[in-house]
Amino acid sequence: MPELPEVETIKKELKKNCLKKQINKIIIYNNKLKYIIPKKIKKIKKQIILKIKRFSKFLIIKTNKYYLLIHLGMSGNILLINKIKKNTKHDHWDLILNNKKVIRYNDIRKFGYLLIFNSKKKIKKIISKLGPEPLKKTFNSKYLYKITKKKKRCIHNLIMDNKIISGIGNIYANESLYLSKIKPYRKSNSLSYQETKTLVTNIKLILKQALFYKGTTIRNYKNINNNYGFFQNKLLVYQKFGQQCLFCKKTIQKIKKYGRNLYFCKKCQK
């Protein structure tokens, strides 16, 4: 589910409601996630939430002594509920705050996880393996061009690689390649500098737009107040198989590559 704009939206809303609140306790309903929640998590009791950050698709909650690292996988949802409610199917854990609010994690497909660390170093180690954030200045055409020249991979696969750029998933990869008029299955080293530059611009543009619309709901993404994102109404090519290309009216194609669906216009994208 969640790519960068969705996680950023969740972060902003959590910040509004949970900063400086004390965690009264954690309740684990279902520990079958990608990684088992460490036993140490119990120590989060009585900790104060000092900072809430996002890096790539990770949410990081800093307390007095600990760092919680949350990844939402494909279908993870974080909800902020106003009082303790009975858990429902696929709820995994609750953080009960001292203002009676509850941060609840729900994840149908169980690809997400919650980890706890007691030092910034360990968090930094995880983050250091990731490429730059697409909206930061460190992600620019010079950086991307250097990498595209070195690799022979499909450009779509390359921009989805978190070690190269962190935070772009399939939706935004398809959308930004469409706007940039680059076929998703082009070998990355065939891109000209100008094309790389256009791609960088469009990745930033698409992500900013998606942020503005509070993310994309395809199936089950919701923000913490149980509302859907709106960017799915603005998608130009993702899941538009069989429909007309906005620019040339030709039919949008879909092919499957490395387990991902690529949507594109054969005529517009070179």
Known catalytic residues are 2-3, 57, 260
Residue 62: other Cβ atoms inside 10 A: 17
State the number of binding residues for DNA (CB under 7 A): 43
Q: Which of 23, 171, 203, 224 binds DNA (CB under 7 A)?
A: 171
Task: Show the binding pattern over residues 99-128: x = contacts DNA (CB under 7 A), - = does not.
Answer: ---------xxxx-----------------
Give whole-number Cα distances, 171 to 136, 180, 226, 235, in Å: 20, 14, 21, 8
Contact yes or no for 250/265 (Cβ under 8 A): yes
CA terminus-to-terminus distance, the chain: 29
By CB under 7 A, tell whether 201 contacts DNA: no
Of 169 and 265, which CB lies nearer to DNA in the complex structure?
A: 169
Of 73 and 132, which CB lies nearer to DNA in the complex structure?
A: 73
By CB under 7 A, tell whether 154 contacts DNA: yes
Listed in sequence order, the residues at least 6 apart from 115 whose beta carbon sits closer than 8 Å to its beta carbon are: 35, 37, 38, 68, 69
Paired tokens of 270: 């070179």
Provide the phi-psi class of 105: left if phi over 0, else alpha when psi is between -120 and 50, else beta. beta
How many Å separate Cα 97 from the centre of its chain?
Answer: 25
Residue linked to tokens 């900790």: 47
DSSP assigned state of 111:
-
Decide: helix, strand or coil at residue 97.
strand
Residue 204: exposure state from Cβ atoms within 10 A (0-12, 13-18, ≥19)? middle
- Segment lying near DNA (by CB under 7 A), choices 10-18, 80-88, 166-174, 196-204: 166-174
Of 23 and 207, which CB lies nearer to DNA in the complex structure?
A: 207
Contact yes or no for 117/47 (Cβ under 8 A): no
By CB under 7 A, tell whether 160 contacts DNA: yes
- Segment lying near DNA (by CB under 7 A), choices 39-47, 61-69, 96-104, 155-163: 155-163
Contact yes or no for 264/236 (Cβ under 8 A): no
The residues in 181-200 that bind DNA, with binding defined as CB under 7 A, are: none
By CB under 7 A, tell whether 261 contacts DNA: yes
- Segment lying near DNA (by CB under 7 A), choices 13-21, 62-70, 201-209, 257-265: 257-265
Q: Which of 64, 258, 266, 270 binds DNA (CB under 7 A)?
A: 258
- Segment lying near DNA (by CB under 7 A), choices 42-50, 79-87, 93-101, 157-165: 157-165
Could you tell me the smallest distance in angstroms from the CB atom of residue 93 to DNA?
A: 16
The residues in 18-77 that bind DNA, with binding defined as CB under 7 A, are: 32, 34, 56-57, 71, 73-75
Percentages of the chain per state (helix, strand, coil), in multiples of 5: 30, 25, 45
Could you tell me the smallest distance in angstroms from the CB atom of residue 113 to DNA?
A: 9
- The amino acid sitting at 138 is T
The residues in 214-233 that bind DNA, with binding defined as CB under 7 A, are: 215-221, 229
- In the complex, which residues of this chain contact DNA (CB under 7 A)? 1-3, 6, 32, 34, 56-57, 71, 73-75, 89-90, 108-111, 151-154, 157, 160, 162, 168-171, 215-221, 229, 256-261
